[in-house]
Amino acid sequence: MDEKTTPPAVDETLPPVVMPSCPIDRKLRGQKALVTGASSGIGRGIAIGLGHAGADVAVNYLSGDEEAQAIVAEVKRCGDNKAFAYRADVSKEDEVRAMFAAVEAELGGIDIVVNNAGLQKDAAFDEMTLAQWNTVIGVNLTGQFLCSREAVRLFKRVGVKPGVSCSAGKILCISSVHDIIPWAGHVNYAASKGGVAMMMKSIAQEVAPWRIRVNAISPGAIRTPINMEAWSTPQAYAELMKLVPYKRIGEVDDIVRAAVWLASDESDYITGATLYVDGGMTLYPGFETGG
């Protein structure tokens, strides 16, 4: 390979990207957000990022009271935002309805809902139990349905609030590259994310006339506890990089920046879109050299 075709060496000593320092552009000032599954990983980052961007934030979680309280404190660090933690299982209809009522009462409204809660229960397909299937579909897909439905009900009821946002509300679905990349050993997870992709687009089409925007972010391999096996040893990391043309793992911050933008009026004409934040994982990396 000559100079033009040889990719630059990757400096693996680069420190991981840190959370946005305070204060970032407070483009969400005056808005109120609910983030599900916000006590760890990507949800934690998004809750903090929306808060640092000026929004009041409800931090939904199922386990980890202390983590949730720490996130509440971090959300409030940069300004006068309100924040509070609310425990609920997003796969349970009554809990979701109670959560929306509580958040609306506590924050005085909701403008942004981030459907982030998600989990994996991996198994070889012929060994996958119905419980593993149901748990993953229940949280990852039904949970997003239940929260999106409550959000749409609320956004339609309240309508556009001039001076707050040009839209009546924003729903952001956290999906995955596995909404289009099949994933052996993770059939329940891939099915749930494929479902999220079409659910998101169909809701977006239906509610656009009410000025409600519905979009998705599909993260690739992001350094969080959910995929620790894939990055925590040098061997695993090297294997992972074969799937990432950009040759670095994603950081939570990469998702946070996209989420803040999609929740803001800067993206007001965007609805029904999926933004792949994946370092090129969806670009058929096997074809870098083959084909």
Task: List, by residue number, the catalytic residues.
Answer: 189
Nearer residue to ligand BGC within complex by CB, 133 or 210: 133
The least CB distance from residue 96 to ligand BGC, in Å, is 22
Q: Is 178 in the site for ligand BGC (CB under 6 A)?
A: yes
Q: Is 270 in the site for ligand BGC (CB under 6 A)?
A: no
User: Mask: binding to ligand BGC, 83-122, rule CB under 6 A, as x and -?
Assistant: -------------------------------------x--
- In angstroms, the CA 252 to CA 258 distance is 10
The least CB distance from residue 57 to ligand BGC, in Å, is 23
Tokens (6 digits) for 132: 């593993």
Q: Is 176 in the site for ligand BGC (CB under 6 A)?
A: yes
Of the candidate spans 73-81, 99-107, 204-212, 222-230, the one that interacts with ligand BGC by CB under 6 A turns out to be: 222-230
Nearer residue to ligand BGC within complex by CB, 176 or 215: 176
The least CB distance from residue 27 to ligand BGC, in Å, is 27
Contact 183, 284 (CB under 8 A): no
Please give the order of strands across the beta sheet that includes 32-35: 83-87, 56-61, 32-35, 112-115, 169-174, 212-219, 274-277
Q: Is 47 in the site for ligand BGC (CB under 6 A)?
A: no
3-state class of 40 per DSSP? coil
Q: What are phi and psi of 47, to 5 degrees?
A: -60, -45
Q: Is 44 in the site for ligand BGC (CB under 6 A)?
A: no
For residues 223-242, which are near ligand BGC according to CB under 6 A? 226-227, 230
Q: Which CA distances in Å does 189 have to 63, 98, 184? A: 21, 27, 10
Burial zone of 169 (CB within 10 Å; 0-12 exposed, 13-18 middle, 19+ buried): buried
Contact 218, 278 (CB under 8 A): yes
Q: Kindly list the residues in this chain that would bind ligand BGC in the complex (CB under 6 A).
A: 120, 176-178, 220-221, 226-227, 230
